[in-house]
Amino acid sequence: MFHLISAVAFLTFSYAVIMLVYRRGFVRACSHPVSVTNAPGMRVAVVIPARNEAPVIRNCILSVLNGTFPADLIEIIVVDDFSADETAAVVTELFESLHDNNSIKRLICLSGYLPPERKGIPNKKKALELAVATTGADIIVTTDADCTVPPHWLKIVVSRFAADPDLKILACPVLCDAGSSLVQRYQALDFVGLMGITAAGYELGWHQMGNGASLAYRKSAFTAVNGYEGNSHIPSGDDMFLLQKIAERWPGSARFLPAREAVVLTLPQPDWRSLIRQRIRWGGKNSAIPGAAVKLILLSVLLFCASLWISLLAVVAGFLPWYVFLLQVAVKVLMDYLFLKDVASYFGRRELLRRFPVMSLIHAAQITVAGIGSLLPTGRKW
């Protein structure tokens, strides 16, 4: 029993320290003012990979074109990845209806570049590489077809590159729409936490993270590191791998954009099963991400969350007293709340903190299931 209690105590203490340091890092990251400067003549290509996104891609494209960045400097590239629905037709019809818009609009169908047997496997990295290779834009900005972007998104993002010649890649904030169901509200709060950890990671120098739903980089940097060469066989991780490669090539060139006005909204997964499958897919890239720090942090969090349920089983079996499990739960809920309160306040999402203890325990279960699931050999699909 002593060894079990000692292990639980160590993992609990480690989790508390990690969350407190992350909280400090986030507060520091968001204390830096984000100014918007002019970006004269800088062309930007917005790349939207899509597979079976007919119901949502129209709103995504329109949100980009309705922004404040000059239309004649925008190139929108939609890459259709063997969609089985009307995605290509919806995009074609929309582009034809926008003939009076001065932006460049192109649809690329991967079926014209890849063999038919690629239809059943993820091709997102290939879609991005093809789009980047065919554009003459200075800055590449990626988003997902189920996202909507705010009016000043491109203006803020591109201005960062104009103001800082050393900036090579910029991770931008992404939050999840908060629906009415518990699974949707949980995802919205979880995304708040992910953005807090992302911002803190850059500030602390622990790790560089990003989300392909809003990621910007210089085309020259993408070309210099040969895109996704070396990790194209891994279904997920187009954002993380590119960040790591560029950060290694040019130390200090990867940044996070802590701008509330640039928050991109993505849609939540419809149910718990879809959510777990998504997080298992995300977790599948973790073992291939370079850097001992991020791996150690991920492992510590996974072990702590798993230890909660091991402690509960040990309590039921009579191997541990109840206070050990309750103390773990108390630490988890308190540390998560202290961190998420600051992040949610910054992004204007304090309403998501309702029923927080329940959300914190769901988070522990999700991390455990998805973390273990990502270590198993499965047929993950994009």
Domain ranges of the chain: 2-27+291-374, 32-270
What pLDDT, on a 0 to 100 scale, did the predictor assign at position 302? 95
Closest to 130 (Cα-Cα) out of 81, 192, 197: 81
What pLDDT, on a 0 to 100 scale, did the predictor assign at position 381? 46
Q: How far apart are alpha carbons 32 and 257 in whole angstroms?
A: 10
352 contacts: CB under 8 Å, gap ≥ 6: 178, 185, 188, 189, 192, 344
What pLDDT, on a 0 to 100 scale, did the predictor assign at position 373? 87
Q: How far apart are alpha carbons 311 and 325 in whole angstroms?
A: 6
332 contacts: CB under 8 Å, gap ≥ 6: 15, 304, 305, 308, 360, 361, 364
Largest CA distance in the chain: 73
User: Which amino acid makes up residue 242?
Assistant: L
What pLDDT tens digit does each residue of the chain (382 aa) get?
777 888 999 999 999 999 999 999 999 999 887 878 777 789 999 999 999 999 999 999 999 999 999 999 999 999 999 999 999 999 999 999 998 899 999 999 999 999 988 888 888 999 999 999 999 999 999 999 999 999 999 999 999 999 999 999 999 999 999 888 999 999 999 999 999 999 999 999 888 889 999 999 999 999 999 998 876 555 555 688 899 899 999 999 999 999 999 999 999 999 999 999 989 888 766 655 556 777 888 899 999 999 999 999 999 998 899 999 999 999 999 999 999 999 999 999 999 998 899 999 999 999 999 998 887 765 444 4
Contact 308, 328 (CB under 8 A): yes
Contact 141, 215 (CB under 8 A): yes
What pLDDT, on a 0 to 100 scale, did the predictor assign at position 289? 59
Q: How far apart are alpha carbons 240 and 209 in whole angstroms?
A: 6
What pLDDT, on a 0 to 100 scale, did the predictor assign at position 239? 80
What pLDDT, on a 0 to 100 scale, did the predictor assign at position 355? 87
What pLDDT, on a 0 to 100 scale, did the predictor assign at position 382? 43
What pLDDT, on a 0 to 100 scale, did the predictor assign at position 38? 73
What pLDDT, on a 0 to 100 scale, did the predictor assign at position 295? 82
Q: Does domain 32-270 correspond to CATH entry 3.40.50.150?
A: no
DSSP string, 185-217: HHHHHHHHHHHHHHHHHHHHTS-----GGGEEE
Q: What is the H or E stretch that residue 45 is in?
A: strand 44-50
